[in-house]
A = this chain, B = another copy of it.
Amino acid sequence: MALLKNHQWIYTKRPQSIVTNEHYTLKESTIDTSTIKEGEALLQSKYWSVDPYMRIQQSQHNTWEAPHPLYTVQGGAVVGQVLVCNDPKSNIKTGDWVLSYTGWQEYAVTKTSELRKLNPNEVPVTTALGILGMPARIAYFGLIEAGIPKEGETVAVSGASGAVGQIVVQIAKIKGCKVIGIAGSDEKLAYLKNVLGVDQVINYKKYPSHQKIKESIKEACPEGIDIYYDNVGGFITDAIFELINHKARIIVCGQISQYSGGLDTPEMGPRFLHHILYKRATIQGVLARDYNDRMDEMLSEMTPWTKNGSLKYQETIIDGFENLPIALNMLFHGKNKGKLMVKSTI
C-alpha cells in the first residue's frame, strides 16, 4: 500500500456576485495507490482549466443542468500525466499525457475510458485546454454552423481576446470576413490587430454607455454587422443589436458580463427584440457540449492550422494549484489573455 498525499479544492459556498477564495475550501486527503481498480488510472494533474462556465454552474437556478453541487471537488478539464494505469486493454499507458475532467485536485483516479490521450510531440499539451480543446470546439462549430460566415461579411466578436474569441476572430478571417474585435485593454487590441489580423478593434472599457460604443462600432463598420459572436452580453450586445444587417446571425456563446450575479437577479437592459424583427435576424445559443461527438472533425481542421502557425493563440498560465480560485476570479476582471489555466508546481 502506498499513500499519496492529495489536495483538492472543494466548492463550499455559493457566490452571490464575484467568486473568490471564500467560496472554496482547500482539503488535504490521501489516495491509496494500491486500490486502483481494473479499467482505472491514477493521474497527476499538470494544468487545470479555468473557465467562465464554472461561474454559471454556481448560479442558484438551473441552467443547462442543476447547479454544481456544494461540498464536492470543483469540476473542470485537466491536462495531466498517467502515474499508474490498471487497464492493459486501453491505449493509455503510464507516462502518457491525457485530458481528463477530474477537476481541481492534484491527483485523481478515473476510468481510462474517460481520458483522451494527447501527443506532446505534435502540439503543446496545453492546447488541449484551449486552441484545440473545448473553447476551440465551440468557436469552430458556433461560428461555422450557427454563424454560417460568408466571404465579405462583417463579423463582430465580443471577448475577442478570450479563449474562445481569439479563435473565432481567426476562423472568421480564414473564411474571408471583415472582423471587428471588442476587448478590454489596449494591449489586447494591439495583439488582436497586429498578431491575429483583426481589421477593427474597440476597447469597450473606454465607453460609458451603449450609445457611445455604438457610435464607434458604426464608424468602424459602416456597412453593419452580419454576424455577432457574443461572449460577453451587456451593453456591448445592446449596441450591436442596433447595428445588425438584414438576416444577421447572432451567436450567444457566453454572457460573461452577467455571470457575477446577473444570472440570479438579472440586470436591466434596453429591450431589443424589435431589431430582430426588422432585420429578420436570428439569435442562437450554443454550448460546447453539444458538439462533443464532433471533436475529431474540429481537430482534423484545426490541428494543422495550429501546427503550421496559421492559427495563433495566447495562454495565460498561473503557477500553483493554490491559486485556482484566484485564477477563476481573474476571468471576471478580464485579466486573462487567451486561455486561462493554472499550472502545477509539483
Contacts and interface: CB of A to CB of B under 8 A. Distances in A.
Contacts of A281: 284-285
Interface string A269-289: 111111111111111111100
A134 to B, nearest CB: 15
Contacts of A279: 64, 285
A98 B150 CA distance: 42
Contacts of A271: 233-234, 255, 258, 262, 266-269
B63 A273 contact: no
Contacts of A276: 252, 283-285
A37 to B, nearest CB: 35
A230 interface: yes
B266 A268 contact: no
A290 B280 contact: yes
A290 B280 CA distance: 9
A237 interface: yes
B287 A277 contact: yes
A202 interface: no
A234 to B, nearest CB: 7
A254 interface: yes
Contacts of A278: 56, 62-64, 285, 287
A266 B262 contact: no
A263 interface: yes
Contacts of A254: 277
A273 B279 CA distance: 18
A253 interface: yes
A279 B270 CA distance: 22
